[in-house]
Amino acid sequence: MSKAFVAIHCETGKENPVIRSLMEIRGVSEVTGVLGLYDVVIKVEAPSSSALEEIITKYVRKVPHVLTTMTLIVI
């Protein structure tokens, strides 16, 4: 099982819609709003590193109002 934490910066005032959209993505196991440089931190789990990459690049980064992401892959 591959895991990663993704810190997400989104448009100001769009945090709640982003959080709702992220909760619907298969493989996203936790979604937490945070204060600071980033607005949301999520935990992503997938059976392989390639599946993990696909979830992040094809789904998480494509959520409307997401501006930037920082991915931390668990070792």
Q: The domain that contains 33 carries what CATH number?
A: 3.30.70.920
Q: Which residues, in sequence order, are bridge partners of residue 44? A: 4, 28
pLDDT in tens, 3-57: 999 999 999 999 999 999 999 999 999 999 999 999 999 999 999 999 999 999 9
Instruction: List all residues 6 or more positions away from 32 whose beta carbon is below 8 Å from its beta carbon.
Output: 40, 41, 42
Task: Specify whether the CB–CB gap between 69 and 61 falls below 8 A.
Answer: yes
Task: Specify whether the CB–CB gap between 4 and 73 falls below 8 A.
Answer: yes
The pLDDT value given to residue 45: 98
Q: Which residue has the tokens 């789990």?
A: 45
Intra-chain end-to-end CA distance of the chain, in Å? 11
Region 68-75: mean pLDDT is 97
* Structural domain harbouring 52: 2-73
Q: Provide the domain count of the chain.
A: 1
The pLDDT value given to residue 23: 97
